[in-house]
Amino acid sequence: MIGSGAREHAIVHSLAAEGGHVLFAAPGNPGIGALATCFDVDGADPLTVTALARTLRVDLVVIGPEVPLVAGVADALIAAGVPVFGPTAAAARLEGSKAFAKEVMAAAGVPTAEARVCATMAQVEAALAEFGAPYVVKDDGLAAGKGVVVTHDHDAALAHARSILDAPVTQPSLVVEDYLDGPEVSLFVISDGCAVVPLAPAQDFKRALDGDEGPNTGGMGAYSPLDWAPPGLVAEVIERVAQPTIDEMARRGTPFTGVLYVGLALTSRGLRVVEFNARFGDPETQVVLARLRTPLSALLHAAATGALAKLPPLDWSPDVAVNVVIAAQGYPDTPRVGDPITGIAEAEQVPGVHVLHAGTVVSTRPSSVGPTQPPENGWLSSERSERVETMSGLGCDGVRPAELLSAGGRVLSVVASGVTLNVARARAYEGARHIRLDGSHHRTDIAEKAAAGQVVIPS
């Protein structure tokens, strides 16, 4: 397992629950370390990962975050003959470049928002005028969850555009899009480059504060399934979005293997793709995998080895799952790190609850060291960019930590299952109440509207 967030912990949690596997992670986190042997190496370096995979003689490498994918870790593993779940760098451009994704969608006839690719402020002004408010401005490249601004404020839209175009990168560009009304859905579609297998739809909550207020984050919570979604939604996404996209990527000679994360809006004009990602979403993975009964290893290995068509239909628990993310003080702007975390064992005493680690670290330092401000963003994905310490020397070996400290923006995922959405919500929030992390915050309205039957698809 490459990566170190709650998404990767969820994957390792599912694999460990199957039994019979020997699990390794790079770099992992303290929660993953209770289930797998962790290696403090750069998971985004193709040569390092390939050498480790060979040394360990692994049967499969699963790449969690987008940065290693865009960096070509899957390419190096494929060249070395190691089965890998995750697309090549060329296929991961579906996430790595918004403009490329739009081009593929257009070629494949996939319904999405109209968009203009802009490289100058004059082009931005023209596109904003063409589409009107609310304005949607997206960084073309990977931006660790901070690349998108949706606003009614023309000046704010211009300022975000200027910050992207002024960035010290080669050929900065951005995308201005038409605004999509309607609720958003995340659907993960597993592909072996040819066949596709959808997982269950989920919804995440990207804003920091209750009521969808505050800044965008990597995601503050999720639930699955979506009882309000139209019954034919998944079949429609496969027919109109996922299969045409996979076919188009194959036609271009860059087949997509792994998970195509289809971010959708259910608008008054029908479904529209908001974005593609080339990896599992976080925090949605935590709830989707909580319900999957089919062994995850079989699914991932089949995708990696071109055998998806032979896989029996997936088996799902009828339960509902809810994930509440516990975030550090100051997240998403300036998360404070170094605060002690307690209460995980108590949270896991709540029926149906398990707690997944993201921005945590085991420290042998005396607690009097106290909180610190994080340095510049770290090395991995949207989740890992919140990570501010390495795992170096931190005993990632399953030994119960002497002291668990916060080490990133999103710190923990409290995941609960229940027979109804209300039961799962109540359990997740009861679990969250047991977590002690000074200054932490979490949303109190994850899945609240869905539980109240208030999610409306505009007509």
In angstroms, give the least distance from the CB of 386 to ligand GLY.
Answer: 12
How many angstroms from the chain centroid is the CA of residue 166?
Answer: 27
Q: Which CB sits closer to ligand GLY, 83 or 145?
A: 145
Q: Which CB sits closer to ligand GLY, 277 or 440?
A: 277
Residue 360, strand partner residues: 406
Q: Which CB sits closer to ligand GLY, 27 or 283?
A: 283
- Strands annotated E in 328-365: 341-342, 353-357, 360-362
CB-count burial class (<10 Å; 0-12, 13-18, 19+) for 253: exposed
Q: Enumerate residues 6+ apart whose C-beta is below 8 A from 142.
A: 66, 67, 70, 95, 96
Q: Which CB sits closer to ligand GLY, 339 or 386?
A: 386
Q: Which CB sits closer to ligand GLY, 139 or 284?
A: 284
In angstroms, give the least distance from the CB of 271 to ligand GLY.
Answer: 18
Q: Which CB sits closer to ligand GLY, 204 or 339?
A: 204
Identity of the amino acid at 236? E
Identity of the amino acid at 187? L
Q: Which CB sits closer to ligand GLY, 30 or 219?
A: 219
- Strands annotated E in 39-86: 61-62, 84-85
In angstroms, give the least distance from the CB of 391 to ligand GLY.
Answer: 22
Distances (CA, A) of 45 to 61, 389, 393: 14, 18, 20
In angstroms, give the least distance from the CB of 381 to ligand GLY.
Answer: 8
> What is the b/e burial string over 132-155, where b = at least 16 CB atoms within 10 angstroms of the residue's CB?
eeebbbbbbbbbbbbbbbbeeeee
In angstroms, give the least distance from the CB of 283 to ligand GLY.
Answer: 6
Q: Which CB sits closer to ligand GLY, 192 or 204?
A: 204
Q: What is the CA radius of gyration of the chain?
A: 21
Identity of the amino acid at 349? Q
In angstroms, give the least distance from the CB of 401 to ligand GLY.
Answer: 27
In angstroms, give the least distance from the CB of 404 to ligand GLY.
Answer: 24
Q: Which CB sits closer to ligand GLY, 219 or 401?
A: 219
Q: By CB under 6 A, name the binding residues for ligand GLY.
A: 204, 219, 277, 281-282, 284, 382
In angstroms, give the least distance from the CB of 9 to ligand GLY.
Answer: 14
Distances (CA, A) of 29 to 1, 34, 81, 404, 438: 11, 9, 27, 11, 20
Q: Which CB sits closer to ligand GLY, 219 or 418?
A: 219
In angstroms, give the least distance from the CB of 282 to ligand GLY.
Answer: 5
CB-count burial class (<10 Å; 0-12, 13-18, 19+) for 158: middle
In angstroms, give the least distance from the CB of 38 to ligand GLY.
Answer: 22
Q: How far apart are CA 28 and CA 96, in angstroms?
A: 23
Q: How far apart are CA 357 and CA 412, in angstroms?
A: 5
In angstroms, give the least distance from the CB of 400 to ligand GLY.
Answer: 30
Q: Which CB sits closer to ligand GLY, 87 or 281?
A: 281
- Strands annotated E in 78-229: 84-85, 115-118, 135-139, 148-151, 174-177, 184-192, 196-198, 203-204, 207-209, 213-216, 221-224
Shortest-Cβ-distance residue relative to ligand GLY: 281
Question: Comparing C-alpha atoms, which of 413, 445, 441 is closest to residue 333?
Answer: 441
| Alpha-carbon dihedral 281, 234, 200, 21, rounded to 10 degrees | -80
